[in-house]
Structures are given as structure tokens and as C-alpha cells.
Amino acid sequence: MMSSEKRKIGLAGAAGAILALGVTELVRGLTESVPSFALTVAQRVIELTPGSLATAAIGTLGSTATAILLTVMVTIVLAVCAGLAILAQRSVLLAGAGAVALGAVGVFSSLGTTGTSAVAILVTGVAAVGLGILMCALIIRYAGSGEAVSSATAEEQAGAIDRRKFMALAGGAAVLGLSSAAGGRVLANQRAVTTAASTELPSSAQEGGISSAPEPDSGTLSFQEVEGMPEFLTPNDDFYLIDTATFSPNVNNDDWALSITGNVSNPFELSYDELLNFPAREETITIACVSNEVGGDLVGNARWTGVRLADVLEEAGLRQGEIDAAAEQIVGRSVDGWTGGFRTELALDGREALIAYGMNGEALPRDHGYPARLVIPGLYGYVSATKWLEEIELTDWDFDAYWIQRNWAKEGPILTQSRIDTISQNETLSAGTIDVGGIAWAPTRGIEQVEVSTDGGDSWEEAELAEQATEDAWRHWLYRWEATPGDYTVQVRATDGTGETQTAELAEPIPSGATGHHTIEVTVEG
Ligand SMILES: Nc1nc2c(c(=O)[nH]1)N[C@H]1C(S)=C(S)[C@@H](COP(=O)(O)O)O[C@H]1N2
Ligand SMILES: [Mo]
């Protein structure tokens, strides 16, 4: 059993830590020169986590993974600081060294993050550690046990007073720390909203406005009257989010530039305005994450505004049919260092490979890569869709981008997939006409046919297809099932524009995308 004395000292250490952490968050809210220490440490932890584990966590938990990671990290820091305070009763030197080491982890993780200052980070780190130690020492000093008092009642009284003082001090430090953290967060978010420019889609500087492929009337693109059908265009706020960034980089388009580098005859740099000077394109493209499970929702369809990657590459001196081995790969590099790479020929083969700055008629939202990102039809995001894009490097095929270094497949073509949206697992439905519907996608190839089975794949019926907006966009389908009472296993499979039908074989997302038919079991009652 830990003595109450020890417990108090430990609590004092934890309170000091809360204050120290809170102060770093407050500073981060006040100035852009200092990032959130907690978030940058979390970022490093994610980077150091073995690839498969990190993606599994990010893929299945999304942003919850970051929240869990942060909670665990903060808990560990508080426990360690409690231990350090207890240790300080025996060796102030050792305990002090421990506190400095913790601060150093925060400082070193933060150094070099976009737009920050090393001096400011160092000063913040030193101040936070100093303040934490000071607060801890102060609390311990006022948390004397009153053991020296001889009379029992006096001892009790003194103890009670100390306890009250202790609670006030430790509690006060914790409240101060927590409110600093909250304040810092509010300030940082406010700034993010104001500096991530306006949400308005920038207008192309090019005369003649935006050119885009003609699209059929939106009423024919989906079966919106059917309950549960996804919208044809995924609203920005509902669009899935996958990235390794624990916080979306906050890029100001005024100081931003995109460089085209590597093995090109004419490397150059583009400011935001210069990017807008290229002819603007607007295209509907479905993008998907390789981590998407069969039936999962890591897929979205948006109208992307941007410029053709091919136009920008041409300016750099690159042409189709003239790609040599030294420029076989295009590597997109993000302001946070993340990389994605794909075959250069895929940017030049006529597909609508874009450097996008707009999404569904708005400026690219910060979480989706403001001010610009790559969108390459037909490729999973991990090899292609670099957000917060700052460099396009032409290099040879030997370079391995972020997820390739973590054992995912080198080439990431999006596999043909289909999903059932209008009925759910173990649902009980009533006999009669049941609308079974959803989406199917095979970007660059298009969807030619969708079939539904209600007997676990023994027999298949053709579903009705909505218009195909473009071969890069998903296609809605509907099967009006005349159902009689019983238990059913409903499945869907799609055939792409090349005539190839999705395989029934089950595969995990790693290394090159999940396969298998989306399967839903339902009971139909009379
Ligand atoms: N800078 C950066 N870009 C990135 C990633 C990332 O981690 N960092 N993740 C990629 C992955 S794995 C996917 S699936 C898509 C997701 O794009 P979205 O979050 O806009 O849906 O972004 C890609 N671009
Ligand atoms: Mo992804």
C-alpha cells in the first residue's frame, strides 16, 4: 500500500505535469511558431509504429485512433511525473533529469514541423518543464503531513488544513493546466479557420473559366428516392479522412509553393496564383483507401477542381512516350514529409490526373489537403493522393514512398468494388418488394454491370444501373427484390468496363486492397 504521503507527492507530480502540458498547448494557441508538443509526439509514435499496426489502427479507428493514442500518452506522462516526484524525495538530481528528458522528447518531436521556430520551441520546452517542477515543489511543500505536531487533535487539525491546502494547490494547478490546454486548442482552431483562407473556390486565372467533361443530369445519377442510398457526390464534411497527420498541417497559400523537381529538364516552382493560371478542370472522381474493407466506407466521390498534372509536367519538360527510367516515378511530397509515388505514365496516359485545389465547389478543405493535393483516377490514395502537396519529384522506380516502406504494394490500382447500402446486416424485412441498392466503382474502367445474389452466390440477377457520370466516378445500382419469407444471404458483384467481374476470393486490405463480395444476411418475414 502506498502511504498517503507518497500518494500526495505523486499527485503533486501529476498536477505539475498537467500544468506543464497545458502551458505548451496554450503557447501553441498563441503562436504559430510552436506546435502542440502532445500532437507532435503522437505523430512520432505513429511514424515509429510498425506500418501494418499503424494503418490497421488508422484504417479501422480513423481519428479515434489519435484520440486513444493521445489519452494513453498523457496518462503515461502523468504516471511518470508522479513517479518522478516521489523519486525527488530521494534524488532531486535524478528526478530533475527525468523531467528534463520528458521535456526533451516534446522539444525534439516538435523541431522542424512546418512553420515553427526552433528557438520558440526550445524556450517553451524549458519554461514548461521549469513551471511543472516549480508547481510540483510548491504543492509538496504545502502538503506537509503535520507529523511533527504532538497532540492528536492538533495533528488532525493540522492534517486537515494541509489536506485542504494541498487539494486547493494541486487542484488549482490541474484546473489551470486543463484550461490552458482548452484555451490553446480554441485559439489554434480559430486561427486555422482564418488562415486556411476562405472556403470559397478560387477562380481560375485562366480565361474561358473551367472546362469539364459533360455530365448527365444529376437526377439520373442515383436512386435518391431509395432510403439509405449514398448521395452521388459525397459532401465534404462526410468525406472519409485518412492520413498519418495527427493534426492537419495549417498551410497559408501566401507562403506556399509547389516545386516540380528531380529528373526533369526544367524544374520550377509554382505559387498558388501561378497554379491557378493553368487551365482549370473540374472532374468527378471516386477515390478510395486501400485499407477499405469489403463493404467499408473509406471511399468517396467528389467533384474536384484543379489543373491537369500533365499540363504542369509538360512545362517541366516531360512528355508522354519520352519518359526515361530516371523519371519513371512521380513522388508527391507533403509539407509534413509524407510521400506517395506512382508510375509517371499514369499521369500522361489521358486520365484526368489532377493537382486539385477545389472539392465540390469549395476550396479544398484543410483536412483534405489545403491548398492543393493530387487526385489520380484509378489509384488508391496511399500511392497517389498526396494532400498538402508541396513537391512533385520525378525520380526512378527504386524510391519507396511512405506506405511502400511499410510493406504495402508498390503499385496501387483501385480494385473493382461494390457495396450494398440500403439493407443492413441481420435486418428483419417484410416480404414484398425490397430495394437492394448501393454503389459500385472501378475508376478509369467504369462499371458495366452489377449483379445481386440472394442465395449466397449460387445464382445472380442483374441490377438496374443509374447513368454513369464518368468512368472515374462510382455508379449507383438498384435491385428490386421480390422477397418471400425466409433467411437470405444477399451479395453483390460488379463487372468493370473491361468485362472483368469482381472475384469472390476473400483478401485482407494489406498489401493491395480487400477483395470478396459484400455480403449481408437478412430475415424476411411474412
Ligand atoms: N500528406 C498526406 N497525404 C495523404 C495521406 C497522408 O497520410 N498524408 N494519406 C493518403 C491516403 S492513405 C488516402 S486513402 C487519401 C485520403 O484522402 P482524404 O483524407 O481526403 O479522403 O489521402 C492520401 N494522401
Ligand atoms: Mo489510404
Chain segment 45-64, per-residue pLDDT in tens? 877 776 656 666 665 666 67
Nearest CA to ligand 1 atom 4: 386
Q: Find the 388 Cα to ligand 1 centroid distance in Å.
A: 9
Distance of alpha carbon 301 from alpha carbon 288, whole angstroms: 9
Residue 280 has pLDDT above 60, yes or no: yes
Query: What local confidence, expressed as pLDDT, does residue 32 receive?
Result: 83
Q: How confident is the model at residue 158 (pLDDT cuts 50, 70, 90)?
A: low
Query: What local confidence, expressed as pLDDT, does residue 151 receive?
Result: 45
77 CB contacts (<8 Å, ≥6 apart)? 17, 21, 102
Cβ(395)–Cβ(263) below 8 Å: yes
Nearest CA to ligand 1 atom 5: 243
Cβ(334)–Cβ(388) below 8 Å: yes
Q: Which amino acid is at 38?
A: A
Shortest-distance atom of ligand 1 to CA 289: 14
CA distances from 391 to 40, 267, 336, 367 (A): 22, 11, 11, 18
Q: How confident is the model at residue 214 (pLDDT cuts 50, 70, 90)?
A: low
Work out the burial of residue 141: count CB atoms within 10 Å of its CB; fewer than 13 is exposed, 13-18 middle, 19 or more buried: exposed
Q: Which amino acid is at 385?
A: A
Query: What local confidence, expressed as pLDDT, does residue 409 receive?
Result: 96
Nearest CA to ligand 1 atom 19: 241
Helix, strand, coil percent content, the chain, rounded in steps of 5? 35, 25, 40
Q: What is the DSSP letter of 364?
A: P
Shortest-distance atom of ligand 1 to CA 239: 21
328 in helix, strand or coil? coil
- The residue-averaged pLDDT of 192-215 equals 67
Q: What is the DSSP letter of 200?
A: B
Instruction: Give, as residue ranges, everything with CB less than 5 Å from ion ligand 2.
Output: 242, 289, 381-382
- Based on its alpha-carbon atoms, the radius of gyration of the chain, rounded to whole angstroms, reads 28
Cβ(127)–Cβ(19) below 8 Å: no
Shortest-distance atom of ligand 1 to CA 368: 20
User: Nearest Cα to 37, choosing from 70, 62, 84?
Assistant: 70
Query: What local confidence, expressed as pLDDT, does residue 146 receive?
Result: 43
Q: What is the DSSP letter of 426?
A: T
Q: Find the 467 Cα to ligand 2 centroid distance in Å.
A: 27
- Which residue(s) pair with 280 in the sheet? 210, 307
For the chain, percent of residues with pLDDT exceeding 90: 71
Cβ(343)–Cβ(328) below 8 Å: yes
Centroid of chain to Cα 44: 15
Nearest CA to ligand 1 atom 12: 382
Cα dihedral 341→344→345→351 (10° resolution): 70
15 in helix, strand or coil? helix
353 CB contacts (<8 Å, ≥6 apart)? 308, 309, 310, 346, 347, 374, 375, 376, 377
Residue 83 has pLDDT above 90, yes or no: yes
| Most distant CA pair in the chain, distance | 96
Quote the Cα angle for 30-36-42, to 5°: 170
Q: Find the 290 Cα to ligand 2 centroid distance in Å.
A: 5
Cβ(362)–Cβ(199) below 8 Å: yes
Q: Find the 34 Cα to ligand 1 centroid distance in Å.
A: 24
Specify the DSSP element, H or E, that contains 269: strand 268-271
- Find the range with the poorest average confidence among 247-251, 264-268, 298-302: 247-251
* Mutation to probe ligand 1, out of 237, 242, 290, 403 (largest number of atoms < 8 A from CB): 242
Work out the burial of residue 60: count CB atoms within 10 Å of its CB; fewer than 13 is exposed, 13-18 middle, 19 or more buried: middle
Distance of alpha carbon 347 from alpha carbon 271, whole angstroms: 21
Query: What local confidence, expressed as pLDDT, does residue 149 receive?
Result: 39
123 CB contacts (<8 Å, ≥6 apart)? none
Query: What local confidence, expressed as pLDDT, does residue 143 receive?
Result: 67
Query: What local confidence, expressed as pLDDT, does residue 472 receive?
Result: 98
Could you read off the pLDDT of 29-40 as tens digits, one per residue? 898 889 899 988
Q: Find the 381 Cα to ligand 1 centroid distance in Å.
A: 6
Cβ(318)–Cβ(344) below 8 Å: yes
Q: Find the 521 Cα to ligand 1 centroid distance in Å.
A: 32
* Mutation to probe ligand 1, out of 241, 243, 246, 354 (largest number of atoms < 8 A from CB): 243
* Mutation to probe ligand 1, out of 387, 388, 402, 405 (largest number of atoms < 8 A from CB): 387
Could you read off the pLDDT of 449-502 as tens digits, one per residue? 999 999 999 999 999 999 999 999 999 999 999 999 999 999 999 999 999 999
Q: How confident is the model at residue 198 (pLDDT cuts 50, 70, 90)?
A: low
Q: Find the 385 Cα to ligand 1 centroid distance in Å.
A: 6
User: CB 46: neighbour CB atoms within 10 A?
Assistant: 19
Q: Find the 341 Cα to ligand 2 centroid distance in Å.
A: 13
Query: What local confidence, expressed as pLDDT, does residue 103 receive?
Result: 95
Nearest CA to ligand 1 atom 13: 381
Distance of alpha carbon 168 from alpha carbon 454, whole angstroms: 66
Residue 145 has pLDDT above 50, yes or no: no
- The residue-averaged pLDDT of 515-525 equals 98
**278: phi then psi, degrees, rounded to nearest 5:** -75, 155
C-alpha cell at 127: 519554461
Query: What local confidence, expressed as pLDDT, does residue 203 receive?
Result: 79
Q: Find the 197 Cα to ligand 2 centroid distance in Å.
A: 26
C-alpha cell at 425: 446486416
- The ligand 1 site (C-beta within 6 Å) comprises 239-245, 289, 334, 336, 338, 368, 381-382, 385-388
CA distances from 460 to 4, 226, 340, 450, 451 (A): 71, 22, 39, 10, 6
